[in-house]
Amino acid sequence: MRTAKMRLPMTEEDRRHRLIGWLQTIEKDITDLVIDDYVFWEIQELFKNNKELRGTPSIINQWMASAFIQATAVGVRRQTDKNPESISFYRVLTELKQYPSLASRAYHVSLYQNSSIPPELAVDMGNGTYDTIIGIGVAQPSPDQIQQDIDKLTTTVQQINKYVNKRVAHYDQNTFTAIPKFDDLSACLVAFEELIKKYKLLLTAIGLPSLLPTFQYDWRAAFRIPWVATRQLESDGEST
């Protein structure tokens, strides 16, 4: 008969390591959403500024908008998932609320001391950053402070979650008209980006100016190339 292996209790270091791993996964997920948002609106500008495109009947733009809304809404909802097997921003924040020492001043300052910065300057930088994020002279964030960010997260995505539950993941038989607007999705992404930047800095001492990367290539180049050969266009015209 096999005996179940006993799990050793997690140390503070174990919890912090896991938390930072979760945050890295979430950062990548939200970065993808931010990039999708940016590309979607840039393409909308292409349509808007091209008279021929604007005057050509097509379902492409409608399809693009529908796909963007649904994919982004699901991505937004993912960050408030409470399932204990899921990685979400909600779980990161609730973990920190339960164990605020994971983001203590002592830990944060130690991240600067392990760098190439002179020791005295490193301590000053670490304390200065912590003062700005958490509060002057505070040893660790309070549960109430973290709860404020949990409330911000859940309130921002509340309407989006309802939409996903009633019209994307499932189709509720009841009437549902509260379809999210593009501005609602953008507001969620702005809130997510602020939270990512805050907790990334707090837990890793890495400051992020923006989640939107600087592209190392011209991603718009694909729109300068004809997508269908002239001969193919003529053939399509004859068949209709």
pLDDT, tens digit (0-9, with 9 covering 90-100), for 218-239: 999 998 888 876 555 556 655 5
pLDDT in tens, 16-36: 999 999 999 999 999 999 999
Long-range residue pairs from 46-50, CB within 8 A, at least 24 positions apart, any chain: 46/220, 46/223
**Spatial CA neighbour of 89 closest among 188, 196, 186:** 196
Residue 98: inside a domain = yes
Answer whether residue 117 is part of any domain.
no
Q: Residue 111: inside a domain, yes or no?
A: no
233 falls within a domain: yes
Does residue 3 lie within any of the structural domains? no
Average pLDDT of the segment spanning 162-188 = 70
Write down the pTM of the prediction: 0.85
Which region among 28-32, 114-118, 157-161, 220-224 has the lowest average model confidence (pLDDT)? 114-118
What does the H/E/C string look like for 123-190?
A: HHHHHHHHHHHCCCCCCCCCHHHHHHHHHHHHHHHHHHHHHHHHHHCCCCCCCCCCCCCHHHHHHHHH
Using CA atoms, how far residue 150 sits from 26, 133, 139, in Å, is 15, 16, 21
Task: Assess if residue 86 is contained within a domain.
Answer: yes
Helix pair 12-49, 60-78: axis angle to 10 deg:
160
Q: For the chain, how far is it from start to end, CA to CA, in angstroms?
A: 72
Whether 124 is covered by a domain: the verdict is no
Instruction: Compute the half-sphere exposure of residue 155: CA atoms within 13 Å on the CB side of its CA.
Output: 7
Residue 1 has pLDDT above 70, yes or no: no
Q: What percent of the chain clears pLDDT 90, i.e. is strictly above it?
A: 58
CA pair distance 197, 209, nearest whole angstrom: 8
In the chain, how many domains are there? 1
Q: What is the rounded distance in angstroms from the CA atom of residue 103 to the CA atom of residue 111?
A: 11
The stretch 141-151 carries a mean pLDDT of 97
| Both tokens assigned to 162 | 């309802």
Q: Is residue 231 part of a domain?
A: yes
pLDDT on residue 8: 76
Question: pLDDT digit string (tens) for 44-87?
Answer: 998 889 888 888 878 888 899 888 888 888 899 899 999 999 99
Token pair in block for residue 156:
């921002």
Confirm if 197 and 42 have CB atoms less than 8 A apart: no
Give the range of the structural domain holding residue 94, as residue numbers without chain letter.
12-104+140-239
Read off the pLDDT of each residue in 188-206 and give the average, rounded to a whole number.
96
